[in-house]
Amino acid sequence: MLPYGEWIIFSLAFGFWAEKIPGKRMLISLAGAWMGGRVLESLFAPYYPWNWHYARLAVILVCWLWAWHQAKRRVLPLVLVVLALISQDLFLVNEPGIFLANKWLFAGVIVLTAYISAHEYWEVAAAISGGLLINQLLSVFFLDGIVRFADLPDDFTWNFWVAFLAMGGLVRGWRERMAGVQPSQPDAAEEGEEVRDIEEA
Instruction: Tell me the pLDDT tens digit for each residue of 145-172.
Output: 777 788 889 999 999 999 999 999 888 8
What is the C-alpha to C-alpha distance for residues 12 and 7, in angstroms, rounded to an integer?
8
Torsion of CA 14, 156, 134, 96, to 10 degrees: 180
The model carries a pTM of 0.84
What are the structural domain ranges in the chain? 4-175
Answer whether residue 201 shows pLDDT above 60. no
pLDDT at 96: 63
pLDDT at 187: 59
